[in-house]
């Protein structure tokens, strides 16, 4: 039990890496299965590409967090960079898809999940901004 407590931080960070790898592999699989070729080009699921980039950002965060644990480095910059990238992807891509569908007079009910995911991404961006401001304020007061 003592060994588990000692290595829990490392295990937690390795689980982030494993989660990101599963996310990336599943997005590549979804992309490959959705490929459709036709004369003059191809078509594929763009959602899986966005999911892949979110997985890449999470993988970078996970790998750096293991490195930072071993070397005792600060994680503030990589945290805001990676989760900021994920939040921007989760916020603006789905909203773009939703508003494009609304402009083409597609049914709201078929595209509402993009709206909700986009709103969640915007909330995550706001959280990161306020979190950064509060941490920066604490650093300047110390």
DSSP character string of 78-118: HHHHHHHHHHHHHHHHHHHHHHHHHHTT--HHHHHHHHHHH
Note whether 133 and 80 are within 8 A (CB).
no
pLDDT at 137 (0 to 100):
78
**In this predicted model, what pLDDT tens digit does every residue of 7-65 receive, in sequence order?**
898 999 999 999 999 999 999 999 999 999 888 888 889 999 999 999 999 999 999 99
Burial 92-122 (b: 16+ CB within 10 A, else e): ebbbebbeebeeeeeeeeebeebbebbeebb
pLDDT for residue 139: 67
pLDDT tens by residue, 110-142: 999 999 999 999 999 999 999 999 988 776 765
Q: What digits encode the pLDDT tens for the residues 61-111?
A: 999 999 999 998 999 999 999 999 999 999 999 999 999 999 999 999 999
Q: In the block, which residue shows the tokens 């965060």?
A: 61
């Amino acid at each position: 039990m003592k060994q588990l407590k000692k290595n829990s931080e490392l295990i937690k960070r390795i689980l982030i890496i494993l989660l990101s790898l599963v996310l990336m592999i599943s997005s590549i699989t979804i992309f490959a299965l959705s490929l459709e070729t036709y004369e003059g080009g191809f078509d594929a699921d763009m959602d899986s590409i966005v999911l892949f980039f979110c997985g890449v950002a999470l993988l970078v965060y996970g790998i750096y967090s293991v490195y930072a644990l071993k070397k005792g480095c600060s994680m503030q910059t990589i945290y805001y960079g990676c989760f900021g990238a994920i939040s921007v992807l989760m916020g603006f891509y789905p909203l773009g898809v939703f508003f494009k569908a609304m402009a083409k007079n597609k049914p709201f009910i078929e595209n509402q999940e993009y709206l909700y995911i986009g709103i969640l991404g915007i909330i995550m961006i706001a959280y990161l901004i306020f979190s950064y401001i509060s941490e920066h304020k604490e650093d300047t007061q110390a």
